[in-house]
Chains A and B, each alone.
Chain A
Amino acid sequence: MIKAILIFNNHGKARLSKFYEHYTEDTEQQIIRETFHLVSKRDENVCNFLEGGLLIGGSDNKLIYRHYATLYFVFCVDSSESELGILDLIQVFVETLDKCFENVCELDLIFHMDKVHNILAEMVMGGMVLETNMSEIITQVEAQNKMEKSEAGIAGAPARAVSAVKNMNLPEMPKNINIGDISIKVPNLPSFK
């Protein structure tokens, strides 16, 4: 089981938090802080597994994380998950984000937390891995986006226009999260595709 999925940046600002067990908002914030504290002090080239998150779960749990440019993707899982499998899942997740947002960067996640949640929902459900095939995930996400668009119809048009205008004065978007060079370290799991 996956207990929680957290995304935060290099400063510990949460970009997405998904808890599959209930915690109060305060505890959730504490967990994010603690996890950030644990993860951020680790070097780049150390292993991606971490024990000893005190707040979430017991000794059975592990933190499995990846660090992409400005973002940490952290999965808290118990012993029924394969460590390398989860690492791969994170990779699939990030690659999916990259496809859905076209060169994803931190700002995409900041402004479209709901979309990230929707993508995640096609991969992990209630703490269990639902789908690992990226093209299948993307198909489902796109089909739903299409539905949303068709529902918006004329009524949505002005809102979209306004939103586009608003977006024009966004600060210059930092460049993409740079997924290219990490794939080397991913253990080879050929048939996951």
Chain B
Amino acid sequence: MALKIVKGSIDRMFDKNLQDLVRGIRNHKEDEAKYISTCIDEIKQELKQDNIAVKANAVCKLTYLQMLGYDVSWAAFNIVEVMSSSKFTYKRIGYLAASQCFHEGTDVIMLTTNQIRKDLSSPNQYDTGVALTGLSCFVTPDLARDLANDIMTLMSHTKPYIRKKAVLIMYKVFLKYPESLRPAFPRLKEKLEDPDPGVQSAAVNVICELARRNPKNYLSLAPLFFKLMTSSTNNWVLIKIIKLFGALTPLEPRLGKKLIEPLTNLIHSTSAMSLLYECVNTVIAVLISLSSGMPNHSASIQLCVQKLRILIEDSDQNLKYLGLLAMSKILKTHPKSVQSHKDLILQCLDDKDESIRLRALDLLYGMVSKKNLMEIVKKLMLHVDKAEGTTYRDELLTKIIDICSQSNYQYITNFEWYISILVELTRLEGTRHGHLIASQMLDVAIRVKAIRGFAVAQMATLLDNAHLLTGNTQRNGICEVLYAAAWICGEFSEHLEDPMQTLEAMLRPKVATLPGHIQAVYVQNAAKLFATVLRKHEGDTDSQAAQETSQLLIDRLPLFVQSANLEVQERASCILQLVKYIQKLQQKNVEVAEEVTALFAGELNPVAPKAQKKVPIPDGLDLDSWINEPPSESESEDEKPKAVFAKEEPKHSRRHTEVDEKELARRREARKQEQANNPFYIKASPSSQKVYDAPGVEHIPVVQIDLSVPLKVPGMPMSDQYLKLEEERRQKEKAERKKKEKKKKREKRGKERKADSGPESEEDITPAHQVDIVTEEMPENALPSDDDDKDPNDPHKALDIDLDKPLADSEKLPVRTHRPEVLKSPAEDRDSESIPQETKKKSGKEKKEKKKDKEKDRKRSKEDKKKKKKHKEVEEELPESQPEEAIQSEETKEVAAPPTSTSAEASDLDFWLSSAPVPPAAQDVTAPSSAAAVDMSSAAAPESEPEEPKDAEPEDMKSSKHKKKKQKKEKEEKEKKKKKRHHHHHHHSDAGGEDSVQNGTVEDEEPLPPMSNYSLLAENSYIKMMKEDADQVYDIQGNHQDESKVVVSVIFENKSDSFLKSMEFNVLDSLNSKLQRPEGAGPHDGLTVPFQLPPGVSNEARFVFSVQSIVMPQKLKGTLTFIVKSDESSTHEKLDFKLHFTCTSYLITTPCYSDAYAKLLESGDLKGSSLRLEGINMPFHHLLARICFHHHFSVVERIDSCASMYSRSIQGHHVCLLVKTSDQTVSIDAKCDEPSLLGNVLDEIKQTFSKC
């Protein structure tokens, strides 16, 4: 046996392996194709052998040939054979080949299902891995359906290697088999919190990919992602999440508000450019979604723009590119902030890198103004001349036109200039955008009446030189402009100086080589010109010229009559006959000009392309109602002979339509009348420019045109002259204006003038021609269209699935579901969906009674479900009642119709969102040194955000660490009574019409005063140390059960004029808290601060502390030593400080669902304590925000003036608060599983508010 194997392998070694194949191909450079075809023959022989090793080798070679572009699908079955080998080596080769060449059309793929299933459940993790990898490339709907369940099981595999692959492949499965999404989603969601970072990252990856296409279905995951965002340190994950938030914010502006702060923090703190860039991007998305500006937004925009400027200025071209890319997003909503960086962007136009130039071009669009348009376009024209490669040149061309035509030619002051730019652009060879230039020419000529004379002259030259345009190549797109030129010359032929010449140019034989649609226009407009010529010569005694013209047409038109293009042929023969007839009349000396001109009389108004679509439906017109009586169903169901109706009905309906038509005609008439009387109809001009309504008053140039009618040099660049002229004109105007002003001052009664005095502003630049830009016609009240139709072929459309709906039995795959049961009753759902006020309209009295009922209910056990249901909304007001409610709604679930837990989850989200912006950063230490305590109010300096003095906490006032934590039952009772009273009171006020504060009504409340994370740590004349809230407080559970880490960020600001260097940060460790030093360092060594500080500069460093016990606040003494280096000398200085770790600094803001919260309270593991604060004079949401901000709580639920809050310590202690307020008194009932921690936290809360 062994001998056989060895023999087989000896045979084998004379087969070509992959390396031999590659080498052979390299040695046969001349006849590669031939060599490969012999190789393929060999491979075919090898595939016929029984030895699997030989087959695998052959398949491996095929994979290589596939890369070279050879079709290897004929070997698909052999690939399947190799895939099913029991040896990993061959299996891998097989799967690789399959992943490279299998696709949905491969028929043998259905043979693989069982093999793949077997491999998926293989005990060898690499068999499974290879199968998953292969499957990810060739999964088909059938495979997805058959294997979805197996893969789902693998998502909970013990090995992270398999888990992460299984999670990732689920995305492919969802795409092919959308039905699997809902059953699998709970488990996927669970994987977001997998202990293995790779699996977590894979889950984030998949959900982000899903959410990108259908973001609204994933809004409910926002809190979870928010948590991940604030806790994860993996940049890949962070980038994905931040990108995801960028997609979610447009749907939920409140989310944006919540995000701004943590994102800004990240922007400040991260050193990874990729992360910084994505943060900026998402902040931009947030700012775009928050259309109505909150006051402090300008700061965020400024921050973004600043950071982007840094990117753009970077020497790294990649950063430059991305900076520009992000800048263009800001441009859309905040053009002003971008405009200030015009210099930078113009600079980028000269970059050698085309990608960067293109991005800069995008930005230019928003940069132009009346003042600089000409200048910018001139620059672009230079680029057009220099540009190599048509793609970039075409891009430039479209950009020039975009820039000039934007917002209805808002920035163009001189249309002659624009026309000449367009004419210059026609000299571009091989551009694809001829039609674009043509449509611009048409648009301008039609809508700017004053320019027609000039335009026609230019177009005539163009037509004259048409051979230049069409000369070179047939595929030349530029000849499209001739379409426009011919039309303009024909339509506005009255402006032509020498129509005869133009007519001659239009009838040249060469025209026949132009595309058909252009020829058609030529022919038609030749007729118009003919009419003009006739009219011109009308008065002449000698009709020679007119007759010559007719003869010309008769001579030339037959060429077009023979055209292959129907349109051309038809028009030409029509016009030819007409001219022949006219010629006859001319010979009889009949005056025909009048009649011929009448053929083309009347003006064409520009009509907006979408006008028809946008005609609004008038009031009272129901498009769905029958115009004629529909054949009544009863009649048709009655089995009467049809003939009767068939005869009757047409008659019937015709009568109706006749009436209708008459009626309509009448109405149309009336409407026309009305419109005629309405001066605002049809021609509205965009700016305050005068509207010319009646014909005849037109084209009166208000400003007499400069001396500067340019010389018309055909084909020569002229636009530059305009630039100069324009400047001169502006100068002149300015001078004139000044003069007039002086005059005005002297006379003290100026004439009426348009322009105001003062510095020259945008508006002051008067256009060279008073032009009347006729807007395109639109129906009255046209509605903005929303044509956001999605691509119907998008595979992601099938994944637009509501994930929050509970699984129906039919959908459930036999797997454990992990969907969090959201415990809200249907009744409550209705409330949270409808306007909350509505539910509160019941009279206070009623509520009071209910309240009492509820108390009773509580004591009674749950017997009377119905009654309870009625009282649910009241119960909801008290978090304590949550457990009951939970149970109850579970019960009702079975009875009632399927509970709409969607809205329940949505309302969870609402709660999360409506809670005041919680900074994710945990506030660690607020410890100003005693020396600096005086400086408290000015301490917050470095952050640009304004802040209130009281935000900085003078910690040394926190003297009392140990407070009594006596829990008197009486006190509690008092509390309860008060609570009752308070509620009572509140309901009354509700009844009085006051809005209750519930889900997501935060917008109505007044904005929170800004709070800062920074507090002064220590300061002397050289340096100021600001401690910022650590942005990560993380615990390392698992390894060191009782050791936790806290990160402290310190900003060092150099206040002196000298250079600070060699800074060392040292802290005297206590038993409990230790500064983390690098390995090998002694316990008393200081940490070197990793930067130096030039004068006036600040920078930030982070220090990690490990903490044993967190139940007590800690104080650490520390010293900062540094060298002050000035020009002459350098001195050693030091600065002492005290780091104060409060207990709240060990708390992490952790979102908590109300049901989990209820369960927690119900568990009875928590010990209680309470606190009363008197004289608190701030709105309740400010109070909550303060607690959230300073003490790292999150609001679980808030009803009226009562809120439940939650936080978790880094060692996993739960802290729950119930905060109630009435009449300047705030009572806080607190529960925690660690009483001394709780006591300290409450003390700290008290101190926070004692300073208010």
Contact = CB atoms under 8 A, between A and B. Distances in A.
B235 interface: yes
B19 interface: yes
Nearest to B124: A147
Given A113-B67, A148-B89, A163-B19, A125 B133 contact: yes
A89 to B, nearest CB: 9
B273 A188 contact: yes
Most B C-beta atoms less than 10 A away, residue of A25, A156, A166:
A25
Interface string B1-43: 0100110111011000111101100100000000000000000
Given A22-B104, A126-B168, A154 B6 contact: yes
Nearest to B353: A46
Interface stretch (A68-76, A78-86, A95-103, A173-181): A78-86
B92 A144 contact: yes
A33 B410 CA distance: 44
Interface residues on B, range: 35 or more
Nearest to A160: B13
A182 to B, nearest CB: 12
Nearest to B10: A158
A155 B3 CA distance: 10
Given A51-B358, A88-B274, A192-B235, A114 B69 contact: no
Interface stretch (B314-322, B364-372, B558-566, B899-907): B314-322
A49 B325 CA distance: 11
Contacts of B590: none
A14 interface: yes
A134 interface: no
Contacts of B271: 188, 190
A156 to B, nearest CB: 7
B355 A49 contact: yes
A133 B168 CA distance: 16
A81 to B, nearest CB: 9
A151 B198 contact: no
Contacts of B20: 166
A153 B274 CA distance: 47
A29 B316 CA distance: 32
Interface in B227-242: 233-236, 239
Given A80-B212, A125-B136, A140-B161, A26 B69 contact: yes
A17 B355 contact: no
Contacts of B69: 25-26, 28-29
B71 A130 contact: no
A183 interface: no
Nearest to B239: A82
Contact of A189 (B9, B209, B212, B272): B272
A52 B389 CA distance: 14
B70 interface: yes
A133 B161 CA distance: 13
Nearest to B72: A25
Interface string A159-170: 100110011001
Contact of B316 (A110, A170, A185, A190): A185
A126 B12 contact: no
B274 A82 contact: yes
Contact of B317 (A29, A46, A114, A136): A46
Contact of A166 (B19, B89, B103): B19
B63 interface: yes
B231 to A, nearest CB: 13
A143 interface: yes
Contacts of A128: 168, 171, 202, 205-206, 209
Contact of B235 (A83, A118, A162, A189): A189
Nearest to B206: A128
Contacts of A18: 100
A26 B12 CA distance: 32
Contacts of A50: 355
A83 B274 CA distance: 8
Contacts of A26: 69
A83 B132 CA distance: 27
21 contacts: A20-B137, A46-B317, A46-B355, A47-B317, A48-B317, A83-B274, A84-B277, A85-B239, A113-B18, A130-B168, A130-B198, A140-B129, A148-B88, A154-B2, A155-B53, A158-B13, A163-B19, A187-B316, A188-B272, A188-B273, A191-B233
Interface of B: 2, 5-6, 8-10, 12-13, 17-20, 22-23, 26, 53, 60, 63-64, 66-71, 87-89, 92-93, 96, 100, 103-104, 124, 126, 129-130, 132-133, 136-137, 139, 161, 164-165, 168-169, 171-172, 198, 201-202, 205-206, 208-209, 212, 233-236, 239, 243, 271-275, 277-278, 316-322, 352-356, 358, 391
Interface of A: 1, 14, 16-18, 20, 22, 24-26, 28-29, 42-43, 45-52, 80, 82-85, 87-88, 110-114, 117-118, 121, 125-133, 136, 140, 143-144, 147-148, 151-152, 154-156, 158-159, 162-163, 166-167, 170, 185, 187-192
